[in-house]
């Protein structure tokens, strides 16, 4: 029997790169833009705020020309909800609409596909003040009608739409829900209600997208870090399966099947985290599943059993950004087999192949990798040289695994390194650079913000020109 093996990428493979509105644009209150929870809640005196970021708002033509020089086939960016609707609903801000119209036209002019993230963490602060934001079911219609406005305004030129970026991060990082205080468990309880409302909003938005007859694909951009059992001990294997469910698959089961699995619902019940569900919610999700999937992959995690004890009773969570450990369920431990970045993220290209296979087997959707990259302390040397060979090696090894996953039968149609240019890291300021293009500013010194092509830019230019042959 003749087995087809893919020794190279499809000629139409979408080589891209990505950013997000709040991390790249700046101009947080210019031209009528309203405040988001990021502008209001995410204040960390040790790192820069997002008021200037990479000043992309004022440098669109220059930046898109650089994307064209790089040879991008697709550019992933997010639309700031409060540039379009400063209060999240109600009045439209025409200058905000015009900004994205101009960006999309510039991309089309350079034959670059726009890949739009409808909402990437920067939720309207006004909706939090009006009714508690995602905690209230009112959030569902406001999100759907915002998305509908975007479809009607840009749907003639935008074929790829990402509904919500990393919904699990929104749920687990209270400030992104506009929550204050430090009652971790109460915030989680509220978070799972917000999660349910976001899933209903996503399904209704996909319904609207289809009813409008918009050409193209739509789906969430999920964060997915592969997990490995820390040892072959059956308890560690069980813990790794539970971790996969609690960190990732609970959400994809809702988006794709409108289902709270028996184990996940029990997990929620045991902790009094169960959300209120209205008749028809789950059927809606089941009826309007995503037609594509954006996958954000950076690292894998080794998982060990974490038996509950008197000191750490069942359900105890080490207060962490994302579920890092929960007594009676699992704990993330170091993986001695892997090197890590300066921020301790374990570098695991094979984990990307495993992630793609897992998603293919469970959900069978076309996939575009919407984030994959290495944050590092890049150094600008004499004559504007940035020797980020570590980033070239990281991206090269992950791209190799994407082709292997395609050989395994996974439908991957694009790859977008994070990030096109240096941007403000959500939690680490300017120091944690991801860009293929260096932006000459520091956290507290704007310098001249000039753009400088890193060694990885020149390398990726060849990768794209050779359709992935010249790695
Ligand atoms: C993802 C977000 C991106 C970006 C990335 C890197 O969660 O979608 O916005 O922040 O993580 O994270 P960090 O900047 O914290 O290294």
Instruction: Encode 228-243: b = buried (16+ Cβ within 10 Å), e = exposed.
Output: bbbeeeeebbebbbbb
For the record, the structure tokens of 63 come out as 């930046």
- The two tokens of residue 133 are 């934001």
Residue 313: the pLDDT is 79
Check if the beta carbon of residue 285 is closer than 8 Å to that of residue 258. yes
Does an H or E element contain 330, and which? Answer: strand 330-333
**Cα–Cα distance measured from residue 149 to residue 164, given in angstroms and rounded to the nearest whole number:** 16
d(CA 111, CA 47): 36
pLDDT along the chain (471 residues), means of 10: 78 98 97 96 86 98 98 98 98 98 98 98 98 98 98 98 96 90 88 97 98 97 95 97 95 98 96 96 98 98 91 73 77 95 96 98 98 98 98 98 96 98 94 98 97 98 97 96
What pLDDT does 320 receive? 55
Contact between 164 and 251 (Cβ < 8 Å): no
Beta strands 412-415; 367-371: pairing state: parallel
pLDDT value for 327? 84
Give the distance (Å) from ligand 1 centre to CA of residue 258.
Answer: 27
If you take atom 14 of ligand 1, which residue's CA is the nearest one? 425
CB of 80 closer than 8 Å to CB of 96: yes
Q: What is the pLDDT of residue 376?
A: 98
- Tokens at residue 350, please? 């094979």
Residue 322 has what pLDDT? 56
| Beta pairing class for 227-229 and 217-223 | unpaired
Contact between residue 430 and residue 441 where contact means Cβ atoms under 8 Å apart: yes
pTM to 2 decimal places: 0.97
Catalytic residue among 25, 326, 331, 371: 371
Ligand 1, atom 10, lies closest to the CA of 426
Pick from 168, 177, 166, 158: nearest CA to 120: 166
| Residues in the ligand 1 pocket, defined by CB under 6 Å | 20, 23, 165-166, 169, 223, 296, 371, 375, 418, 425-428, 432
Task: Give residue 321 CA to ligand 1 midpoint distance, Å.
Answer: 12
Asked if 113 is an active-site residue, the reply is: no
Joined tokens for residue 423: 């941007």
For residue 166, the ligand 1 atom closest to its alpha carbon is 8
- Of 17, 426, 427, 434, the one to substitute when testing ligand 1's pocket (max ligand atoms within 8 A of C-beta) is 426
Query: Span 14-229+296-302+341-465: which CATH code?
Result: 3.20.20.80
Rounded to whole angstroms, how far apart are CA atoms 275 and 391?
41
DSSP letter (8 states) at residue 174: G
Distance CA 368, CA 16 (A): 10
Query: Which residue lies with its CA nearest to atom 13 of ligand 1?
Result: 425
Please give the structure tokens belonging to residue 399: 């791209």
What was the pLDDT predicted at 323? 66
Centre of ligand 1 to C-alpha 46, Å, is 18
Phi-psi region of 33 (alpha: psi -120 to 50; beta: other; left: phi over 0): beta
Nearest C-alpha neighbor of 10 from the set 410, 286, 350, 453: 410
2, 49, 15, 19: which is closest to 441 by C-alpha?
A: 49
- Within 42-88, residue ranges assigned H as helices are 60-70, 81-84
Local structure of residue 79 (DSSP, 8 states): -
Comparing CA positions, the residue from 141, 84, 156, 69 lying closest to residue 118 is 84
> Would the CA dihedral through 267, 355, 14, 100 be positive or negative?
positive
Domain boundaries, the chain: 14-229+296-302+341-465
| 426 alpha carbon – ligand 1 mean position (Å) | 6
Instruction: Please give the biggest Cα pair distance in the chain.
Output: 64
What pLDDT does residue 1 have?
A: 72
Q: Which of 25, 113, 166, 331 is catalytic?
A: 166
User: Contact 124/88 with Cβ under 8 angstroms?
Assistant: yes
Respond yes or no: is residue 166 known to be catalytic.
Answer: yes
State how far the Cα of 154 lies from the Cα of 100, in Å rounded to an integer. Answer: 9
Ligand 1 center to residue 269 CA distance, Å?
31
């Amino acid at each position: 029997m003749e087995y087809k093996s893919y020794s190279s990428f499809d000629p139409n493979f979408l080589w891209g790169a990505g950013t997000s509105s709040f991390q790249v644009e700046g101009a947080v209150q210019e031209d009528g833009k309203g405040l988001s929870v990021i502008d209001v809640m995410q204040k960390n005196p040790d790192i820069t705020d997002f008021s200037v970021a990479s000043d992309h708002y004022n440098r669109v033509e220059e930046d898109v020309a650089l994307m064209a020089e790089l040879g991008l086939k697709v550019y992933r960016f997010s639309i700031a909800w409060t540039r379009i609707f400063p209060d999240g609903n109600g009045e439209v801000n025409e200058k905000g609409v015009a900004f994205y119209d101009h960006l999309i036209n510039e991309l089309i002019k350079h034959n670059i596909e726009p890949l739009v993230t409808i909402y990437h963490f920067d939720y309207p602060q006004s909706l939090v003040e009006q009714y508690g934001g995602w905690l209230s079911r009112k959030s569902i219609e406001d999100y759907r009608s915002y998305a509908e406005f975007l479809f009607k305004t840009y749907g003639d030129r935008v074929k790829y739409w990402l509904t919500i970026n990393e919904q699990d991060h929104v749920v687990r990082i209270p400030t992104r829900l506009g929550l204050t205080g430090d009652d971790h468990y109460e915030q989680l309880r509220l978070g799972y209600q917000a999660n349910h409302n976001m899933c209903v909003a996503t399904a209704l938005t996909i319904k609207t997208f289809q009813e409008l007859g918009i050409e193209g694909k739509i789906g969430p951009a999920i964060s997915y870090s592969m997990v490995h059992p820390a040892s072959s001990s059956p308890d560690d294997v069980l813990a790794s399966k539970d971790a996969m469910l609690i960190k990732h698959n609970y959400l994809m089961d809702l988006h794709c099947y409108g289902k709270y699995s028996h184990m996940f619902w029990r997990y929620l019940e045991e902790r009094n985290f169960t959300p209120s569900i209205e008749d028809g919610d789950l059927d809606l999700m089941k009826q309007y599943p995503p037609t594509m999937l954006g996958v954000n992959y950076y690292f894998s995690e080794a998982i060990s059993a974490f038996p509950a004890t008197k000191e750490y009773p069942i359900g105890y969570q080490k207060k962490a950004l994302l579920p890092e450990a929960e007594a009676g369920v699992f704990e993330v431990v170091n993986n001695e087999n892997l090197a890590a970045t300066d921020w301790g993220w374990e570098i695991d290209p094979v984990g990307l192949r495993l992630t793609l296979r897992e998603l293919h087997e469970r959900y069978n959707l076309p996939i575009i990798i919407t984030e994959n990259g290495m944050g590092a302390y890049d150094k600008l040397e004499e004559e504007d040289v940035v020797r980020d060979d570590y980033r070239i090696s990281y991206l090269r090894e992950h791209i190799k695994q994407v082709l292997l996953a395609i050989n395994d039968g996974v439908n991957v149609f694009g790859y977008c390194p994070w990030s096109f240019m240096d941007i403000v890291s959500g939690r680490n300021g300017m120091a944690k650079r991801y860009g293929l293009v260096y932006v000459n500013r520091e956290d507290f010194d704007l310098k001249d913000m000039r753009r400088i092509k890193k060694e990885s830019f020149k390398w990726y230019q060849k990768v794209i020109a050779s359709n992935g042959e010249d790695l």
